[in-house]
Chain A
Amino acid sequence: MSVVDRAAAAAGVPTGFYTLVKREILRYVRRPKNTFIPPFITNVLYFSVFGVVLGSRVGEIIGVPYILFILPGLVVLGAVSNAFENASFSIFHGRWNEYIDETLTSPLSYTQMVWAYLLSSALRGVLVGTLIGVLGFFIIGGLYQPVPVEQPLYLVAFLLVITMLFSSLGIVGGLLAEDFDDLTMMNQFLLRPLVFFGAVFYSLEDLTPLLQDISLLNPMVYMVNGVRYGFLGVSEVDPQLSLGLLTGGTAVVAVLNVWLFKRGYGLTD
């Protein structure tokens, strides 16, 4: 029995819920070459190409080097895509191979099941986001200037909320998908466009007023600006409003998750 097991038991965490969270976390922690190394390599490439090579031509945006400007966006991109992918894959792969039956035939409540998938996937998002942040600290700190963390509480809060939101959406995706292609489509045709038009690589100021208004319909804009506020202390959208909207959205999708589990959507015949 590990120290964590003992701590969880001492804290009164229900054993069934704790076991499912642990199982979900062990699944990705034991496979770093599938879960942590790919975002590490991808972000080294992003920093190299967009930050170092192209960034020198762009110069500064909102008073900071371009590479520092894109760091929060890359953290968001890594965090939300991993949170989404983990939740959707875990649910869908379990359905596909029917081993999700091990969970469904257990006495866990539907709420416990959902929260176990949600928290473990959010944790993966937070870990990947942190990994990218640390990578940025070394690359940007070594080449340009130290990376500031002006609003650490906001940074933590945004990171938690956005990973929870995308874990929740991942659960919906995992329940809706009927094939592995559906998961790929969700990632490529929904998540990626939202991220790339979410002010990761550019400032909203560079857009026309109409495009700025349209951009505000994209939840990614609030996430990127929220995390940017955490790092740089500047945001093009009110961070409190962003946090409020994202928290509300997360709560709604989490409730939807529990409802879908109770209904057995995608899980039972």
Chain B
Amino acid sequence: MSQSPPALDIDDLRKEYDDVTALDGVSLTVPEGSFFGLLGPNGAGKTTFINILVGLVRKSGGHARVFGHDVEADYRKTRNAIGLAPQEFNVDRFFPIREVLEHKAGYHGIPAEEAQDRADEVLKQVGIYDKRDTRFDWLSGGMKRRFLLARALITDPDLLILDEPTAGVDVQLRRDLWELVTELNDQGKTILLTTHYIEEAERLCDEVAILDSGQVRAVATPEELKDRGTDQIVVELREPPATLPDLLAGDDRVEAVDLDGHQLTVTARNGGLVAPQLVRELDREGIEIVDLEITRTSLEEVFVEMTRHDDGDTAAGDASDVDSDADAAGDDTDIEDDDSPRAEQQVAPDGGQR
């Protein structure tokens, strides 16, 4: 029985801009039907990676296949399989949004009549059908984000690529988008998501890759990644011992055991598994426990740790670039993650009327 190819099969993918290496041998596989997250600080190479898939950036080396089709040799099949919602508002300003969608559908070979029906359908799906006769420039920021998603969906792609889809949108819209993309994934679409919001990746993705300085640092499920971090077991003792007994000796998951007054803190990987042993040993020593709490490492902490450079900073230079509070109402100022020269969003000085 022949096995269907993965949605993405990337092997030693490289991209160099003059003396800047944007992608440095990226290899990963995204199974069909999965919800895959691509995390990384600014300049990590996420947008370059995506743009290579859709043909907006030419790779310098390596291979990239989408559902078995090479992105350069079989570019027409590749592009037909992908729906992209980019960070930039790269939308045709000359036409009302409904017509923009009809054009996009037409480019993908969808006949005019069907394209009109689909345009209405996706505009309803993302909740901006009432604005169908409005030009893109007249939409609010949130509506623009919704429109980009509608444009990605109009061709009913097998692979939906969302590049920072919730950057700068309010709480309600963010939750609406989460619900929508989850539904699409449940229907069988493969989704590739890049995001700054760690909670978003944690909540939505089956698997995530952490990209830093053009290299893949890790590929795993969010849970597996969190297991790689260290948890803290904080035990409140009724009467602290005069000297700390040799607890958990020989357990290589344990990194540190500290006693501070009534509070015993054990730092260890897989804290949930270490805790029962700790309780047993304290009981054996006759030390009474008042309270016990395990603080699980967060995906954000793992992310920061993995992308921390020698100078102690993350590659982004500022951990605030990693926004773990997905409920915080964003603004448009953080939409600057692009790492390629195309990132400079430019506006025609003459409004484009020639």
Contact = CB atoms under 8 A, between A and B. Distances in A.
Interface of A: 1-2, 5, 9, 14-16, 18-20, 22-23, 26-27, 30-31, 34-35, 85, 89, 93, 96-99, 101-109, 180, 264, 268-269
Contact of A264 (B58, B77, B347): B58
Contacts of A27: 94-95
Nearest to B352: A93
5 contacts: A31-B353, A97-B90, A97-B93, A106-B104, A109-B76
B354 interface: yes
Given A22-B106, A99-B90, A106-B79, 15 more contacts: A2-B112, A9-B112, A16-B106, A19-B112, A20-B106, A31-B353, A93-B352, A97-B346, A97-B352, A102-B103, A105-B55, A106-B104, A107-B76, A107-B77, A107-B108
A127 B62 CA distance: 48
A26 B80 CA distance: 24
A102 B107 contact: yes
Specify which of A5, A16, A101, A106 lies most central, judged by the most chain B CB atoms within 10 Å of its CB: A106
B353 A34 contact: yes
A104 B342 CA distance: 14
B56 A105 contact: yes
A180 B348 contact: yes
A14 B82 contact: no
B340 A105 contact: no
Contacts of A106: 79-80, 104, 107-108
Contacts of A16: 106-109
B317 interface: no
A27 B113 CA distance: 20
A6 B249 CA distance: 80
B107 A14 contact: no
Contacts of B104: 102, 106
Contacts of B48: 269
Nearest to B110: A15
A238 B330 CA distance: 69
Given A93-B348, A97-B347, A107 B107 contact: yes
Contacts of A22: 106
Given A1-B112, A85-B354, A268-B58, A101 B86 contact: yes
B348 A97 contact: yes
Interface in B332-352: 340-342, 345-350, 352
A105 B82 contact: yes
Contacts of B80: 106-107
Contacts of A104: 54-56
A108 B111 contact: no
Nearest to A19: B106
A98 B345 contact: yes
B327 interface: no
Given A34-B354, A99-B93, A102-B104, A9 B76 contact: no
Given A85-B354, A93-B352, A107 B58 contact: no
B112 to A, nearest CB: 5
A14 B109 contact: yes
Contacts of B57: 268-269
A103 B100 CA distance: 11
A199 to B, nearest CB: 28
Contacts of B109: 14-16, 107
4 nearest CB pairs, A to B: A19-B106, A106-B107, A98-B90, A107-B80
Contacts of B103: 19-20, 23, 102
B17 A269 contact: yes
A259 to B, nearest CB: 14
B187 to A, nearest CB: 22
B50 to A, nearest CB: 10
Given A98-B88, A99-B92, A101-B90, A269 B56 contact: yes
Contacts of B17: 269
A85 B354 CA distance: 8
A99 B349 contact: no
B254 interface: no
A113 B57 CA distance: 18
A107 B151 CA distance: 15
A5 B112 CA distance: 7
Contacts of B100: 102
A255 B43 CA distance: 37
Nearest to A183: B354
Contacts of A89: 354
Nearest to B77: A107
Given A105-B56, A269-B17, A269-B342, A20 B107 contact: yes
Nearest to B350: A180
Interface string B71-101: 0000111011010101010111111000010
B107 A103 contact: yes
B90 A102 contact: yes
A97 B92 CA distance: 8
B51 interface: yes
A15 B106 contact: yes
B47 to A, nearest CB: 10
Contacts of A14: 109
A89 B349 CA distance: 13
A62 B95 CA distance: 49
A23 B112 CA distance: 12
A105 B79 CA distance: 6
